[in-house]
Amino acid sequence: MISTDDKLLCTQGNDFYLEGEVYTVGRIVNNKYFQLLTGSNDDHWYATLDKEGICVSFDSIVAEGDKARFDKIA
């Protein structure tokens, strides 16, 4: 379960999320999507929690590497 203000550790980074950095969950959109803040002002991408874990998917034109992956910090 993901909640607003949860902290997530990036385990696979890309142009927007750096591996090893901690990011904060923003607004919960619905039971599948939630905002994941990038750390710079209120910028965010939409993340999802699926059977493989937490990820933000990107169009390969937008970012080098099509997914950033995260683990929830207990």
Structure token digits, residue 38: 């990038």
Whether 34 contacts 27, CB under 8 Å: yes
pLDDT the model gives residue 61: 59
Strand partners of residue 10: 70
Q: Model's pTM, two decimal places?
A: 0.85
CA distance 27 to 63: 23
pLDDT tens-digit map of 10-60: 999 987 899 999 999 999 999 889 999 987 677 899 999 878 889 998 765
Cβ(8)–Cβ(71) below 8 Å: yes
How many C-beta neighbours within 10 Å does residue 48 have? Answer: 16
